Every structure is written in structure tokens, then in C-alpha cells.
Amino acid sequence: MIDLVYKVVAFLVTLGVLVIIHELGHYIVARWCGVRVVRFSVGFGRVIASRRLGRDQTEWALSAIPLGGYVKMADEREGAVAASDLPRAFNRQSVGKRIAIVAAGPIANLLLAVVLFAGTFLAGIPGYRALLADPPGASAAYIAGIRGGDLVVALDGVPVQTFQDLRWRLLEAQGKRNVELAMSPSGARENAPPVIRVLAIDSLEPSDWEGNPLATLGLKADFGPPTIDAVIVDKPAARAGLVRGDRIVSVDGVPVRSPADVAAATNAKPDQPIVFGVERAEQKLNVTLTPEAAMQGGRSVGLAGLRLQIDPAAAQRLALTVRYGVTDALIQGARKTWELSIFTLKMLGRILVGDASLKNISGPLTLADFAGQSAQAGTLVFVGYLALISISLGILNLLPVPLLDGGHLLYYFAEVIKGSPVSDRAFEVGQRIGMAMLAVLMALAIFNDFSRLF
């Protein structure tokens, strides 16, 4: 129950911040352009609280449905406008002003992402150097000549500082046949030029990209054998006799070098016995347990009922904090926002052509779940999550779909080209099409949410 409340609160904070920033973008530019703002609402539907402020007595409102917001301006198309306000009506502004007002909301979300990412770079983002463990013998990494102890320093010429960087650069490379990894091999002398390894990635299926593409390719972090941080009562690990402090060195005879290795091996065998090779003090033990089957992401996975941690000595050896000064942090924040925006557009394109799964579309339940998880993981993680969702909201609203900001921009650009506004009939038909498209999209998102949960 506490976990549910935490997720709901985190989700409402996330949505509240993003909606307020988005609508403030519209509001501020509308005021700069001399348009009268009648209402600024957080939420849709019935107004449950409001207050009028300012020279124009703008109504600042909180509405019943907390899944968005709106800025209502004086507009003759939506109702009567006082004669004194006619010069300040939205529909009487130049097309350039209308474009600026409508575009300001999504742009505000993208600028928020820049600031939030810059804040994380100023504070310092903790991570781990991309030091690799031995890849499995038949993996793409092994075939490429990658071996344990190799350190990744760049992917396709773009510097890689941490394992998180490596994961992100690989995701950006979706659709390519292969990538070039610049490696500092184990035992290489200081300042030695990197060695280039060509890694084939075209064998990855869409489901691999949705899971853990690094592990599928054989790119695994070398954190050393993980230790057990906690064992859940009356779960397979506890019943098998595993205890806090045990060091897991292998699963079914295969060496493991990170918590992810153990999780992958355990998840792959629901309701099937597996053997953990364990070090306990000076003892070496083989412990057999049968992971419980559970549904995750629409498939059955095995769960042992334990929490693992990285070996403290390895964590200290590989730990790295990426930190920048104010100017560089803003530059990096803008760069990351740009890269994620392009990545979002590419993913939408791949979904439309069937090259990526529709399961990538998430709804409010998944967003709430991730908001709660990120908030529990710490301030930096939550701020990064806010920035990511802010980008998604900005890009989504710029799509040329009627009802969205991008749909209105499409009408205005058409007006620029033809020299006159689009007809009321075209506007009405477009609104109906947009409503149908958004209804289908929302239904799909909610269906995916329930599929993931149940």
C-alpha cells in the first residue's frame, strides 16, 4: 500500500511539473504577443478550485482530471469576446504570433529537459567505467574479438565514459548492421592507441532491443562475483539456505560477474532447478534452488527471492562520477536533449513502419510505476526521469496530429502557404480525425499497461 501511494504521488508530481511548464510556455508567449488569457488550468474537466489574478483577471484553476492542462485565450471561434478585447483575441493575431504561442508549450518542455539534465551534470552523475567481462563463446562480442578486461572508450567515434554511455550509444545505433567499438585492451600500456573491434548488431530482434541488448550481444560489465545483500523470507533462495553475505561465483557452472548475470540466468529458468556456486567465508558450496515462476512483460521468468549487490571492492575500483561546470553542463544538457529527441522521433518512425513493437507505447500506469521507481532510486534518477518524460511530452505535442499543438501548427503553416486560414470544414474534419487517432493511441497505451502489470 505504501509503495502504491509513493508511485501515485511521484506520478502526480511528474505530471504536475510537466503540465505547468508546458502551459506556462503557452501563457508567457501569449502575454508577450498581447493576447488575453482567460484561464490557466492544471487538469481537465470541472474546475474544483480557482482564483483570479492580474490586470486581466486570469482564472488560475485546478480541474478534476489530472491528466493534462490547458490555457484558454480570448478567441471568437470558442465564444463571445468583449469588444474591448477583440484586438487581443487569439484568432485576430498574425499567423506568426499564433505559431509562436502554440509552439511555446512543447519548446518549454524541451527547455525544461535541458535545464534538468544540466542540473544532473552539475551535481555529478555516478556510473561505472565500461570494463567488460569475458563474453559467452558464441556471442557477437566474442566473435568480434572482445575479451574480459577490455575497456570501451568510444562507439562509432563517440566517446564512452561509463557503462550507461555504452548502453545509450548502442540504442542510438539501432538499424545499423554493425558498430565500431574503440577498446583499451586488458594490459595495454598507458596512452596506447585504442584497438577497434567491429561488433555485428543486425542479428538483434526487436524483442532484444526491448530487453537487454548489451547482454544479448555479450557485452557484460565486469563487477566481479556479486554478494547477497538480502534474502526474502520463504522464497526459493531462503529455503535453499542462502544467507546475506554469500558470494555467488557461478550459476549452473557458468561464472557470473555482476548481479545482472545472476538475474539473467535465474529469469531464464522458471520452475527449473539451478545450481548456485557460492563462496561463504572460507567455504565453497553448491546450492540448488528452483526459481518461482512469475509473469513479467508478458512472459514467465524465474525469481529466486534475493537482492544482490556489486562487490564493494569492484564498485570502488570502477566507480566514476561525470561532472561538468555550469557552461559545459548546459551544453551537455542541450546535447542530451537533442539526442533523445531525435531518438524518440526515430522510435516513433520505426513503430509506424512495423520495425519496432507497439509494446513500446506506454500509458499512465506504466508512467506512474516508473515515476515511483525513479523517485525511490534517488533525486538524480528522478530528475533524469522528469527530463526524459518532458522530452517525450514535447515531441508528442509537436506531431502533426489535429488536437495536438503540432496539428494546430500544421494548420498555420498551411495558412502561410495558401495565404488564408484553412476552412472551418477542414478544421472540423481534422479535429475528428485527431480525436479518433488519440483515442486509439490511448487505448493501445492502456492495453500495454495492463499487459505489463497482469
- DSSP string spanning 277-310? EEEETTEEEEEEE-PEEEEETTEEEEE--EEEE-
Instruction: Provide the grid cell at 195.
Output: 584497438
172 included as an active-site residue: no
- The Cα 44–Cα 446 span in angstroms is 19
Fill in the amino acid letter for 214. Answer: L
Q: Exposure of 373 by Cβ count < 10 A (0-12 exposed, 13-18 middle, 19+ buried)?
A: middle
From residue 354, give the alpha-carbon distance in Å to each of 177, 208, 342, 348, 349. 18, 15, 18, 10, 9
Q: Which grid cell is 401?
A: 496530429
Would you call 161 helix, strand, or coil by DSSP?
coil
Cβ-proximal residues to 437 (8 Å cutoff; 6+ apart), any chain: 401, 402
Evaluate the CA torsion angle 130, 131, 136, 141 in order and state its sign.
positive
R_g of the chain computed on alpha carbons: 26
Which of 23, 180, 190, 282 does the annotation list as catalytic?
Answer: 23
> Which sequence positions are flagged as catalytic?
23
